[in-house]
A and B are shown apart, each in its own frame.
Chain A
């Protein structure tokens, strides 16, 4: 595996057009899997639209500010027994950016959140929400990455290059078979997808996207993230 690049949260700037232009040329390079699938059928487009809508509801934007630039990353609303927390990558909320961050839901509502736990080895962080708006969902549906089949279609939702709520489509490259193995997907990810969900066609989250390595999208499997949440919240 060569050229391991972390998807750092994209700089939040007003240069929306510049990042869009960058995204355009990079998509032309290989083409989103969506185009490769030749999904002209309206039914398929509708299904993807529906899937994107459901995933957007459980994916948040995490705003952090630092000395040089403000950044945005993704996070997943995670059901943890009687409450909802946010799970993201540790590199989305690095310690030098402080523990107090702002979380934005799909409906644009901003909520204060604080980093409760970070694990740099797993590249996971857990955020607890201040007052969660009533209209927010109770958390994402969770799946099991170990039950995936190689070649199965998966989708990623995130904010590549700052573009909010973008969906990319790909296939499972390699199913994790050890306790700590990563889930690898043949899917196009970009900086800004970090911390966002990798999900099945049912909308079940099977991984937290964390990096691009050798062109592959790498996600932390849900069972690993679940273990981290369990430990951080000291759940029985």
Chain B
């Protein structure tokens, strides 16, 4: 044998080998909590044993509502029921018919929220099938504030990854170098860009799904587009920096907006005392806590400015994000 035979173990005390061992141990630890979910044709997806009896998964990977099987880390399979899903955050939860033993699957060990730092070394851990746990290595490439997904879900931190989220990795765990869970990976929320839904958001959605079966979403029932008021009107109404607003282009019948008397052609210039220039500005005022509350609008109609009070309603549970965007 030439130099460098396996027996030589030249690098056994090296920094690299120590890192390699840490990474393998992290995958092993996380692998005890990551399961495979068989709820779509072809490649199964991943899920995390989040709480006793409860598995968190990516909603877009759940394509059937019955006969869902979950492969556990010890190689066994258990039937599970879909408890609820939230298309907005692309999360779904499943409940086992009978709680598996601690030997079969372990509840996720969480890392604290402040562990989300740009540049920190992370692993995506998934179980896309019965072949065992699999992983990819990378770093957190961006961490931002609270954001809203295109389907309206509220996510507490924006966490983008520089690593590969392979087929079947959605619903799997993002873990730090110790194997502690930082969040749930998902590739369907931003056109295939790998993102992580942080623990705090997952907990909030799990709580909502367990208590109500869906995540409450405030709702007005209008379609809007940005509009600019003419200078003459803006000057006459003394709007100042509110010369921009959103034009109401559709009012759903019997919606909260309809009941409040909002009409197509109204220009909303302020909501809850804040000026609005984009539909997004209005959407941002529609957090779950607004449901049932009154929202004060200021609209320009027929060249006059008038106040309107809308009692914010609750949107019926949304469909999931399947068949939209690219997800794995």
CB neighbours (8 Å) of A203 from chain B are: 4, 10
Asked if A201 and B11 make an inter-chain contact with CB atoms under 8 angstroms apart, the answer reads: yes
Given the contacts A58-B2, A153-B19, A186 and B27 also touching, CB distance less than 8 Å = no
Q: Nearest CB to that of A170 among chain B residues?
A: B137
Q: Which of the residues B16, B25, B121, B162 comes within 8 Å of A201, measured between beta carbons?
A: B16
Asked if A139 and B15 make an inter-chain contact with CB atoms under 8 angstroms apart, the answer reads: no
Q: Scan residues 112-138 of chain B and give those whose CB is less than 8 A from a CB of chain A.
A: 119, 121, 123, 131-138
Asked if B167 and A151 make an inter-chain contact with CB atoms under 8 angstroms apart, the answer reads: no
Q: Nearest CB to that of B8 among chain A residues?
A: A202
**Count of residues in B whose CB is under 8 Å from the partner chain:** 43
Q: Scan residues 149-178 of chain A and give those whose CB is less than 8 A from a CB of chain B.
A: 149-153, 170-175, 177
Q: Which of the residues B23, B25, B132 comes within 8 Å of A174, measured between beta carbons?
A: B132
CB neighbours (8 Å) of B70 from chain A are: none
CB neighbours (8 Å) of B133 from chain A are: 150
CB neighbours (8 Å) of A37 from chain B are: 19, 121, 137
Q: Nearest CB to that of B10 among chain A residues?
A: A202
CB neighbours (8 Å) of B163 from chain A are: 36, 186
Given the contacts A36-B162, A143-B6, A173 and B131 also touching, CB distance less than 8 Å = no
Interface flag for B14 (CB, 8 Å): yes
Interface flag for B31 (CB, 8 Å): yes
Interface flag for A226 (CB, 8 Å): no
B13 to chain A, nearest CB (A): 11
B248 to chain A, nearest CB (A): 43
Question: How many angstroms between the C-alpha atoms of A8 and B24 in the bound complex?
Answer: 31
Q: Nearest CB to that of B123 among chain A residues?
A: A151
CB neighbours (8 Å) of B23 from chain A are: 151-153, 171
Interface-lining segment among A43-51, A109-117, A119-127: A43-51
Interface flag for A184 (CB, 8 Å): yes
Given the contacts A47-B14, A152-B20, A171 and B136 also touching, CB distance less than 8 Å = yes
Asked if A202 and B132 make an inter-chain contact with CB atoms under 8 angstroms apart, the answer reads: no
Interface flag for B28 (CB, 8 Å): yes
Q: Which of the residues B6, B25, B167 comes within 8 Å of A141, measured between beta carbons?
A: B6
Q: Nearest CB to that of A186 among chain B residues?
A: B136
Interface flag for B17 (CB, 8 Å): yes
Most B CB contacts (10 A, CB to CB) among A44, A57, A170, A186 go to A186
Asked if A214 and B24 make an inter-chain contact with CB atoms under 8 angstroms apart, the answer reads: no
Q: Nearest CB to that of A140 among chain B residues?
A: B2
Interface flag for B98 (CB, 8 Å): no
Interface flag for A216 (CB, 8 Å): yes
Question: How many angstroms between the C-alpha atoms of A33 and B9 in the bound complex?
Answer: 23
Given the contacts A36-B139, A173-B135, A204-B6, A138 and B121 also touching, CB distance less than 8 Å = no
Interface flag for B253 (CB, 8 Å): no
Further 10 A-B residue pairs, CB within 8 A, beyond A150-B28, A171-B135:
A47-B16, A140-B2, A141-B8, A150-B24, A151-B23, A151-B27, A151-B137, A152-B20, A203-B4, A204-B5
A–B Cβ pairs within 8 angstroms, 23 of them: A30-B162, A36-B163, A41-B15, A44-B16, A44-B19, A48-B16, A140-B2, A141-B5, A149-B24, A150-B28, A150-B31, A151-B27, A151-B123, A152-B24, A153-B20, A173-B136, A186-B137, A186-B163, A186-B164, A202-B11, A204-B5, A216-B164, A216-B166
Q: Which 4 A-B pairs have the closest CB atoms?
A: A151-B27, A149-B24, A153-B20, A186-B136
The interface of chain B, by Cβ under 8 A from chain A, is: 1-6, 8-12, 14-17, 19-21, 23-28, 31, 43, 119, 121, 123, 131-139, 162-164, 166-167
